[in-house]
Amino acid sequence: MRLHEPLSNWTTMRIGGPAEMFFEPHKPEFLADLLTALEKDGVPWTLLGGGANTVAPDGGIPGAVIHTGNMRRLFRDGNGLRVWPGVTLPSLVRSAQGLGLSGVEELVGVPGHVGGALAMNAGSAEWGIWDQVEEVVLWSPGAVNEEDGLKFRTWSPKEIQPAYRQGNLGGRVVLEALLNLEESSPLVVKATQDDFLKRKNRSQPVRLTSAGCAFKNPSGESAGRLIDQAGLKGHQVGGVKVSDIHANFLVNEGGATAADVRQMLAEIEQAVQGRFGISLERELAVIPEPL
């Protein structure tokens, strides 16, 4: 455990003050024990994966921040892959390709960890990682599973009901997941990945400092198009700018703060509401400032 770890080092947007306590468990069992102990002692905790969808507060996070980055194991299980929550999406995509397993090609070029991806149901407009989930092991706050006295158990996607960019975990924590993939060939999987990557590189500011899409796409619409047509491409608040390449990406131009991001999100919401009468829903996980 480390004290006062700067969260700007652990988020892709490079924003965030210190975590009071910063834990990096090496195994899902240790993560479960840690969560149970923190809960018992009344210590607030926050889960952090790759920080690729998170805006951490300027004032830092009191209590414990648990980073999943040391839980990186991945096992072949039939046609599927059993993955720990800290497996990075690039390594998941690489492993599936190497094994000739098809199903997660659309995650190519997406940063983050499997746990964070399941929490957000990461993917594209038409597909999310939950489409491949066979089962998931979750730690639950509060209640204990009556059958075995444990705070974690295996859940099916049917019980969770994930939706577009919404893992619906209800405060539960991903300890492990079994992804259902289809046998293919490494070359075919690679060709599909290359195709997705080309499209992504053409349309998104993948090399700039961002946290991915700021808003979810409203039904039948594109949040990027609405923001662009509201005249906000290139708009800047402090160190945060609406990307010139894709208006749904907010880029840290240098020295951006969480306050800048919150201000920018509010301005975009107001402009799109005013121009189109549409309320945008945030995709970014913006953690509130400490009291």
| Residues at the interface with ligand FAD (CB under 6 A) | 12, 47-54, 68, 85, 110-113, 115-117, 119-120, 122-123, 169, 173-174, 204, 206, 210-212, 285
Least CB distance from residue 10 to ligand FAD, whole Å?
8
Between 21 and 211, CB nearer to ligand FAD = 211
Q: What angle do CA 9, 112, 115 make, to 5 degrees?
A: 115
Q: Using CA atoms, how far apart are residues 116 and 19, in angstroms rounded to an integer?
A: 18
List, in order, residues 6 or more apart from 274 with CB less than 8 Å away: 230
CB neighbours (10 Å) of residue 219?
7
Least CB distance from residue 95 to ligand FAD, whole Å?
17
Between 107 and 272, CB nearer to ligand FAD = 107
Cα atoms in the 13 Å half-sphere on the side-chain side of 64: 20
Least CB distance from residue 148 to ligand FAD, whole Å?
21
Between 80 and 167, CB nearer to ligand FAD = 167
Q: What angle do CA 56, 6, 17 make, to 5 degrees?
A: 45
Between 275 and 282, CB nearer to ligand FAD = 282
Between 249 and 272, CB nearer to ligand FAD = 249
Least CB distance from residue 97 to ligand FAD, whole Å?
17
Between 88 and 97, CB nearer to ligand FAD = 88
Least CB distance from residue 12 to ligand FAD, whole Å?
4
Write out the E strands in the chain: 2-6, 18-23, 45-48, 54-55, 61-67, 74-77, 80-83, 101-102, 133-139, 152-155, 173-179, 182-183, 210-213, 236-237, 240-242, 249-252, 285-286
Least CB distance from residue 227 to ligand FAD, whole Å?
16
Q: At 80, give phi and psi (nearest 5°).
A: -110, -175
